[in-house]
Amino acid sequence: MVKSVEGIYRNGRVELMEPLAEAEGSRVIVTWISPAEPAGLRKKGIDKPRAADLRPQLFQFTEDGNRPEVAVDDELPPW
């Protein structure tokens, strides 16, 4: 069986975000995910005027995502 769970590495140990009683004593593979870096718009070829143009367009996604009828998606079971 292969199962992925999120965890945090602290003091030489991985702390899992959910218990895995069925995995006690099993071998694991840990994949480290580096912390997110700032978007760096300049690296993506977006200057200040273009960023100013994009901001109101992207704001629409935030408004749509905060609508009550969209919250139904949060209650769906995971894939």
Phi, psi (deg, nearest 5) at residue 19: -70, 150
* Amino acid identity at 43: K
Helices (H), the chain: 48-65
Q: What are the φ/ψ torsions at residue 13 (nearest 5 degrees)? A: -130, 155
Q: What is the pTM of this model?
A: 0.38
The whole-number mean pLDDT for each consecutive block of 10 residues of the chain, a chain of 79 residues, reads: 83 86 84 77 87 83 74 69
pLDDT at 79: 62
Helix (H) or strand (E) holding 16: strand 13-16
Closest to 51 measured CA to CA, from 65, 37, 39, 35: 39
